[in-house]
Amino acid sequence: MTFRECLVKLSELQGRILWQKKRQPATALPLFEEAEKLLSEIFLEAPDNRTWDMYQASLWCNLGLIHVELNRAESSIPWFNRSIDLFSQIEATTANNENSRRALSRAYERRGDANASLRNYSASLADRERAYELQSNPTQSLVINLCLSHARCGQTDLAVQRVNQIVDSDLSATQRRYLARVFAILAAQEPNDIQRNNLLDSTKRQLGLSCTDDPAAVSRLEEDRDFKDFWLQVNPLLSTK
């Protein structure tokens, strides 16, 4: 390994420790950017060297994630785009490679999260559907977020179908809160009084389960950037029941 390659690894490692262990994304960002710059220089000197492809694609994805954590979702999208393009190239040349497929799925999922925070719900749905297709065993969080995207895009039947697949699973308090949000959005769109009331009951049930597991869960929702929309959809309906 050359001196410059060692610097790439070292900068990325220092950034990862600050980001994931110390929870200091703002301090970690320049280190990731330095690693990306050095790696780009390596590729300029040896453009046919494919040794670092997976590493570079992962580095771009992590840069996107850090921007999201810093509330810079818009500036995260180009990093996710670059990551997805490179992961797609790797996937196309390494058929049936579980690692590359999982990494590509993760990049789509994270870009879907960024698009959701930007309220670009149709793009978020497309990303999450692609992430779901690429996983042989999708995580519960991905399924819940996909339900949320279906609900926000007015795809009620698909949202209900996926919710029914997971509602009785062993879910965390956070996941229960997101399920409550799905039910609330569906209730706000439902014209039938009986069906709407059933969905509101499901909303309250999921919030109740979340609160049982984590008594501070509902109060923490107020810190959620998306919670205001959620509460405006559910609260007037709950008050009229």
Q: Read off the tokens for 233.
A: 């959809």
b/e code 75-97 from CB counts within 10 Å (16+ = b): ebbebbebbbebbeebbeeeeee
Rounded distance between C-alpha atoms, residue 77 and residue 99, angstroms = 23
Q: Using a cut of 0.75, tell me whether the model's pTM lies above it.
A: yes
Residue 46 confidence (pLDDT): 76
Q: What is the pLDDT along the chain (241 residues), one digit of tens a residue?
A: 788 889 999 999 999 999 999 999 999 999 999 999 999 988 888 777 778 899 999 999 999 999 999 999 999 999 999 999 999 999 888 766 788 899 999 999 999 999 999 999 999 999 999 999 999 899 999 999 999 999 999 999 999 999 998 999 999 988 988 898 899 888 888 889 899 889 888 988 888 787 776 666 556 655 655 556 666 666 655 554 4
Rounded distance between C-alpha atoms, residue 187 and residue 192, angstroms = 9
Residue 83 confidence (pLDDT): 97
What is the chain's alpha carbon radius of gyration, rounded to the nearest angstrom? 20
Sign of CA dihedral 205, 116, 232, 70: positive
Q: Read off the tokens for 184.
A: 């609330």
Residue 180 confidence (pLDDT): 87
